[in-house]
Structure 1
Amino acid sequence: DGSGQYLLPGGIDPHTHMQLPFMGTVASEDFFSGTAAGLAGGTTSIIDFVIPNPQQSLLEAFHQWRGWAEKSASDYGFHVAITWWSEQVREEMSELVSQHGINSCL
């Protein structure tokens, strides 16, 4: 019962890079450790960046990140970065929106 109490939603961190591979290294926080730490501070949801390699399918990268995120301790969503352009990228952007709920492609 929250009567007479202030109820505050948890924070949303809209810019994270959990276990991001970058130039031969990987970010130190994975989806479990990063979101568990966030929860301890009141962050209940993150929006992580899916960053495909050049010429990598956006859908392939999205599914790779979804696999990593299965161990997340909190809610999460994704931005998908556009790292190259072709007709395939255009088609996959449409599929990400219509079938996977991604509405942020950067």
Structure 2
Amino acid sequence: MESHLFISPAYAQGFLGGDGATSLITNLVPFILIFVIMWFLIIRPQQKRVREHQEMIKNVRRGDTIVTTGGIIGKVTKVIDGTPDIDVEIANGVNVKVARAMISEVRTKGEPVKA
């Protein structure tokens, strides 16, 4: 009588899906969908913002009004290509060096570079 209380292993395997390959695929589909959604909603827009910021930093010229990540607003007085910093005038006669990476915004474009 005790043999009727338990389901034999052969019947139990039939109810669990049988084929291991299809169950593996069905288990991986939700993870793949989550990754695709994360890619389009988070990773891709962040990469686009990074590219735009790098382009903005590369195109900073003398006369531009910039805002640093610290909130300092100033006018670019000297830019040397290939150097990691620029000179910024934050008040009349007060010049500071600012790392290019610390520029968060270019508010107004200044005069073009003289040849």
> Which structure features the higher share of helix residues?
2
Q: Considering only CA atoms, is the larger Rg found in Structure 1 or Structure 2?
A: 2
TM-score range, shorter chain: under 0.3
TM-score by length of 1: 0.25
Give the alignment's TM-score, normalised by structure 2.
Answer: 0.23
Q: Which has the higher contact order (CA 8 A, sep 6+)?
A: 1
